[in-house]
Structure 1
Amino acid sequence: MTATPVLVLLDHAADGTLRPPVRELLTLARTVADGAPVHGVWAGTADVAPALPVLAAQGVAAVHRLVADADPHLSSVVADGLGQLLDATGAGLLLLVSSFESKEVAARLAVRTGAGVVTDADGLEVVDGRLVALKTVLAGTWSTRCAITTPVALVTVKANAVPAADAPAPTEPAVVDVPVQVSATSRRVQLVERTERPASGRPDLGSAHVVVVGGRGTEGDFSPVEDLADALGGAVGATRVATDEGWIGHDAQIGQTGVTVAPRLYVGAGVSGAVHHRGGMQASGTIVAVNADADAPIFEIADYGIVGDLFTVLPQAAAEVRRLRAQG
């Protein structure tokens, strides 16, 4: 690694507030930058001002705000801007949140630049001047180390993989507008319609510290799952069978073909623990399983297992959580 800036794509909400995993990315960026500056990249039309106090506390030196005469929600437009910014700054590393949108941006950017890409990393090191990404594979059963041999590295990092911490000294990030030269290829794409997801009041599934998941055992009634999630301040997830049955939206599906989560606490209620689901949650910190079937495969990987009726266990757990919180 040379003393070039480390870039971080600043994932944010429509009101300009940073999503929680961004603080983790900035913390990781400082650890591998080895004294080099950390720069943020702002894409979209939201006001950057609400994010500046957090960025200052994280020691960010500058924020490059991409300005384009094309739809900033298109991944190809963002990739155009990032490619130009990599050239302008000489940065050798770009960190992104491990979301569907960011992975698409990383893929497009890799095609444009020839950069090496690692997705769903849960750590990053510098070994003999070379970046090495850490990630779990094969349903969380193997830990791997991936050396990136190209001059530019693009790494998407899973939420909750890195403890976030503020920088030793705050900064005053300079906000710099960067005009994007949108490619002809990007201009061929037109966004016809965009619908914002209704706010649930719960944290984002992919970045939540606590996730409560319902499976076939709920028989379509997710009310105890949602109640426990609300008591714990967590997100609600589901298995594929639950989403296929229409009991909950497909955006809640966790697994190899859905969202990959790594919360500090995972609670599976009526979840059998099929391989394709385990592939999306096995990296969780603490796994609690509630299932009436004592032979359910999920008990093989659970830290705590409760053999019982979820409609009895979950309401009792939610009531106890609220009682303890009321005591302070």
Structure 2
Amino acid sequence: MSGVWVFVENKHGQIPAVSQEAIGAARQVADGLGQPLTGLVLGQGVSGVAEAAFNLGVDAVVGADDATLAPFRVEAAGPLAAKLMGERQPSVFVVGGSTYGRDLAAWVAADLDAGIVADGINLKVEGNVVKVTRPVYAGKLLADVNVKEGLQIITLRSRAFPKAGPMGKSGTAEWVSAVVGEDSIPTKVVGFAGKEGGVSLTDASIIVSGGRGVGGPEGFAPVKELADTLGAALGASRAAVDAGWIPYEHQVGQTGKTVSPDLYIACGISGAIQHQAGMRTSKVIVAINKDGDAPIFKLAHYGIVGDLFKILPALSAEFKKRLGS
């Protein structure tokens, strides 16, 4: 077995951040093993994605351009990916931490009876083996895990790896045919309902989050005001979501979104280990809490001990003044 493969997703003709991270991580693995890196591109109208994958550092692209592969359905993509890897025999398959990626990795692992390590936050090549560091016990410990033999399938935690940058490379993709016809696919995608307004948590460079300390649904008003002032996404802890104060789509943490913004402002969040697991890689963390002994302060770069209902309006007013908004 030889060669490293990476799943390159297609999002409106572009390579999304989750796949840019996967390409960067897979490139390091390929270099460490001394093996070529192949990008797997599946979809319809994806020639531009293949070109972009070369530019981000893959050595080769194997792809399929077919209507059955767009939008993504694992019942169509899975059999093709498994067939290709069964024939080409790569040693490693790296997949980003998206819903599509995790679905595809699981399908290939089951189809080929291959080992899989999920939610990796660091990869290290030792001989012919890739050691994957992943959180365990709700993020309290880190474990090094590896697949001893055969194809090593690795899924990555979103935002845990830097994105691959342009390398100025180019190449010619190898195009293959889909292996499952439309009539054999049990799921049909009839459309997508986009969310109106707001900034996506996973794409935001600034996130302002509220927790149990806001006291109720109305307590999110000053949190949202600060987020709107900064052009930030609105986040929340599990405690606030479980209490019904804010929808689940805002939840940050082990059972919510994993984020890594430039600035994360935690308001009234004590900092349970499950919450930290979803935001600890943020570049700058600011904690605002009336409890000076809250665990979040051990993780924060800057902390303010005090009443968030006094602090947040003051911050919003000052930012509006300085930003001219």
Under TM normalisation by the shorter chain, which class is it? Answer: 0.7 to 0.9
4+ residue stretches of structure 1 with deviation over 6 A? 322-326
Assess, with a 3 A threshold, how the Cα gap between structure 1 residues 163 and 257 changes in structure 2: closer, same or farther. Answer: closer
Taking structure 1 as reference, are residues 188 and 293 closer, same or farther at Cα in structure 2, changes over 3 Å only?
Answer: same
> 1:268: which partner in 2?
266
What letter corresponds to residue 250 of structure 1 in structure 2? Y
Question: 2:209 aligned with 1:213, yes or no?
Answer: yes
What residue in structure 2 maps to residue 28 of structure 1? 25
Look up the SS of the partner of 1:179 in the other structure.
coil
Is 1:77 aligned to 2:76, yes or no?
yes
Unaligned runs of 5+ in 2: none
The superposition leaves residues 176-198 of structure 1 with CA deviations (integer Å, 9 ceiling, x where unpaired) of: 332222299x9363236442332
Deviation at 1:307, TM superposition (A): 1.6
RMSD of equivalent CA atoms: 3.3
For each residue in 1:210-246, what CA deviation from the matched residue of structure 2 results, as whole angstroms up to 9, or x when unmatched? 4322223333244543454456565332122333454
Deviations 1:6-47 (A, max 9, x none): 22212332x212222322222222211125332222233354
CA distance in 1, matches of 2:224, 2:290: 19
Q: 1:71–1:26: structure 2 CA closer, same or farther, 3 Å change rule?
A: closer
TM-score, normalized by length of structure 2? 0.82
Deviations 1:86-130 (A, max 9, x none): 124322222211123322222222111122211211121210221
Aligned to 2:193: 196
Please show how residues 90-129 of structure 1 align to structure 2 within 5 Å: 90-129=89-128
Moved more, 152-161 or 122-131: 152-161
Cα contact 2:133–2:145 (8 A) shared by 1: yes
Q: Is the 8 A contact 1:99 1:206 kept in 2?
A: no
**Relative to structure 1, is the Cα distance of residues 145 and 292 closer, same or farther in structure 2, using a 3 angstrom cutoff?**
same
Q: Note the residue ranges of structure 1 that are not aligned, 5 or more in a row.
A: none
Residue 133 (structure 1) shift:
0.9
Local SS of the residue matching 1:205: coil
Amino acid at match of 2:233: A
Decide which moves more: 145-154 or 173-182.
173-182
2:223 to 222, 225, 235: 225
Residues in 2 aligned to 1:159 and 1:315: alpha-carbon distance in whole angstroms: 32
Secondary structure of the structure 2 residue equivalent to 1:79: helix
Task: Tell me the matched-pair count.
Answer: 319
2:196 and 2:39 map into 1 onto residues whose CA distance is: 26
The 1-side partners of 2:307 and 2:45 are apart by: 46
Residue pair 1:76, 1:105 contacting (<8 A) in 2 also: no
